[in-house]
Structure 1
């Protein structure tokens, strides 16, 4: 009789088990089933026909392990996608099956009775941990074994390998074994180094591992150093970061130092005991005005300073200085503002500007004050001829702003009234008046009714029409500074009154211009004979 195949010998008991068992997908449940009544007699018959079957020596022992091994064999054959598991079981292929590979490796009774037809075992890429799975060496007839890309450690059972006389392919690469140089052993000389790459089994692997560790440590130190240097540099010079990584409105002392060329004297605009003001080139290439305060600042004052700056950077009006950001250290504090070419109103008045230009400045200043009152009532401003700058096109810029706990509208109206009277008279309340602003306002009142020309800037040329406009403006200024009856006009009312005076000045200027043209001879309009 022809020899019975090993798979047939293993599956003999399955012939007496129901089809539902064979097709069952839950191996744990199947392993709890008892052997069928005639199981012992069936395997005795098989062993009589082929005594080489591995379970034949166990017939007199624990027959249940033999039965369980046949169940595992059936499941494992299906998991390994063998073509016909009732007749053929040539390979165990659990490659990249990390969820079930450890389970089948735990079935010691299966490996003990490993089917003789299995020629290939592939357990690669399963992240197996621990020592070498020695039970698979019971399959001494195998020709191919692949345990690569796992995490196996310790020594391999070299004595057990000597029983694998048919083994022609071996791959233990990418594990963490501890043998020194396996190729020196006679049995393993049949394989080349590709079977043991990065496995720890080659002498050069150890050298490589030590070198690799040193290299990794060096790279780690290098990377940490680079990141540390880069981080420190970014903290000091955030303006060097890409735009999307920059902290908006927050400057460092190093950034401001670079912007002012090291706080050089050449960039120094002004200085007193409390503050230094520099001109500098900011991160976006624009010119900025940097106001610096030095000293020891308490935690509370630093907190208040930052909160104030957070508000000021949000202001958006063409006649208010644009605050770009701030710097806050324990002994260094700064505010960066957009630089505007121009001069103070004091300097401007010395050039004897025309009445319409003075009116335009008044109109723009009160508009900016209305903006603050409506949208930022907590922000106050200093309205002085010395603290308001003018651009070349006569646009005023209020340069001193302050966040206040309580903003007094009446006081703001009074400050504007004084400013208006200064522009008309070209006189400073703090020069020539013992009582300052109060004396200055009283001086205007005394001469307003009957000697108003004495309070008007004598250099300013006025016509009959502009004289009336100037007198109207002085009347507005006196209303603003009259706090005796609590009937001061509001900033919005003042804005409308100033605007009417300004519009009338434009109308009168246009009428005067037409009158001059009408009086000009016809031939005077011709140029170059046209």
Structure 2
């Protein structure tokens, strides 16, 4: 069958189409604002030439990293040791997807913005060290929910360390070599993932909170050269020396001299009881390993205890245990490695904080449901609202969970729902997304108009169709992972506050290729529901979705030609079942051409959304 001429596109047209659609004006404006607001005596920003409009042109800028080299979607800005001068560039807020910012080793002066959490809401790594920043650390910094690294050392920062500074995910916190005063807040003990804590060379006073001993992952700790006094906390399995506490005349204990007022007998009894408790637990545990009739359910409990006992590694578990128990140990090691892999893509969150944000998963918080599980609206203590998907248990439960993380964690696009985190605890699995205030497209097409008295006009429907087509085309043809969705429907399309469509529900997807040209680790899972090529399955399903969008608009005055063209495109998509020649790239340009033919500002307005 001959293809419809409206879908016969030369490759040049496809490339030009993506050149326009992949430009993200907000990110371009972000970088332009940074360049304009900073003095650049060394001309390191001279490569930032904004006259180019090709896809991904900003990705070649010095110090700029992108989510994908064919899109102007900024992931990181690193201008370390550039000799840049000026105040903190608040225009960075236009880089809406930025996760890493490094302005260290420059001459950035003035205060840290008090609205930093609004400027960089999704920042993961923030390095402003070795500058000339002054003023206090703003307390709102505690709302940087996804922050893992914060370095403010070697500045002129004054005031106290905010007591609210209890960042759940922070691993590196360094505010050394400033002029901070007052006590060390005990709330830092809540930063349970901390590995580096540097508070040295300030004017801190009072005692070091003994609660800091709960930080069992610390490998680097320093409070040297302050005005601290009292006993020092004892960190488990660390090699801290006296240099970590140097030049604090009032400190004692640990690697320092003994504290004079300690009751040795109480210390001995306390240590003896703790040692006896651990020894008894280990003895009972190891005896149970050798006991031939030990049940696997108890083994699970005991292995959980082993994981909790600090310093006990898997290789220390006795080897003379039944085979099924050895397999269980190997299973846990594998799960840990999977979690480590997932943390490369998105933030890991705790079950406790998700329970608190959803009122213990109150049914009143449910905002959607699907084959994979229930979706909850979650409101966190810092006011951030996110969406949490609680996955059901089923045969392919884990595979769907890992697929969703691999796809949405590695791919970032304006028309894919942003995956921000995951939780994997006690055999329960959760996925955390950016909250989409307008729900699903299916709701708007079939129920919400009756409830809210609002109806989607044709212009909005057309824009939504273009956005969905663009997202699917990018999934099929990007060079990071080639993904077929396989379950495309109006239930899988979420709408943000501007009714921008976001494709979701990747649990049944097929990852066909990775960057090296070899099959992905997840690509073994192929959904056996269709004999179609997976790409063609998406084209077919998009055709059905387009019919759903058009169905109520056939007689709308003034748009009959556009609606007719949309119906022709939908027909070509559905014909994929027979001839299989239509690609999502062709579909995308064809439906985009409907909007391009308008005389109004459809194109300009739509491009701004990307």
After TM superposition, the score normalised by the length of structure 1 is: 0.41
Instruction: Considering Cα pairs closer than 8 Å and 6+ residues apart, tell me whether 1 or 2 has the greater RCO.
Output: 2
Larger radius of gyration: 1
